[in-house]
Amino acid sequence: MPGSDGPLTKEYVRSVFQYLEGSGMEHDKFGDYLVDDLSWTIQGTHPLAGHYKSKKAFQEGALKRIGQCLKSPLTTKVSSILLDAPWAVVEMTAHGVEARAGWPYNNKYCWVCRFEKGMIAEVRAYLDGVMVTRAISEHESSRTRGLAE
């Protein structure tokens, strides 16, 4: 069950992020660990970059948009977790995912997460913005071409 009054541990953080290693309903379970008034900032100058001021805004503005550019749900593998409670730094790599255009979407992520009572309240996310831009521009331009034909 999401939330915890106990001390933040690497094991707890890993248990939260395990849900991003699955797909579909597993991702929904990860969302259960995000507070509704989440502050999520995606760093950079690419189409997903910006500050999302709620869980819903992040899910609709970032996750849904990149998800439409991929052949399957985004799945990640955690490579490391650094902890200085209430902060956790989680490094991940996308795996087994292809862009709709057919190339491997093996983006690397570093999320700096602040936890409150076992829930993620704030994230500063770093990723390969060139890869994001390519996936989005190829997908959205192909959709535009399809409408023009």
- Position 63 in a domain: yes
How many domains does the chain contain in total?
1
Q: How far apart are CA 51 and CA 47, in angstroms?
A: 12
Say if residue 147's pLDDT is above 50.
no
Q: For residue 76, what are the domain limits?
A: 10-148
Note whether residue 3 is domain-resident: no
User: pTM value?
Assistant: 0.90
Residue 1 pLDDT class (50, 70, 90 cuts): low
d(CA 35, CA 7): 18
Q: How far apart are CA 99 and CA 34, in angstroms?
A: 26
Are the C-beta atoms of 88 and 115 separated by less than 8 Å? Answer: yes
Is residue 62 assigned to a domain?
yes
Candidates 113, 45, 98, 107; CA nearest to 76 is 107
Evaluate whether residue 89 is within a structural domain. yes
Residue 2 lies in a domain: no
Residue 5 lies in a domain: no
How do residues 53-92 score in pLDDT, each as one tens digit?
999 999 999 999 999 999 988 899 999 999 999 999 999 9
Half-sphere exposure of 118 (CA within 13 A, CB side): 12
CATH of the domain at 36: 3.10.450.50
The gap between the terminal CA atoms of the chain, to the nearest Å, is 49
What is the sign, positive or negative, of the torsion defined by CA atoms of 24, 29, 30, 34? Answer: positive
Residue 74 lies in a domain: yes
105 occurs within a structural domain = yes
Average pLDDT over residues 125-147: 87
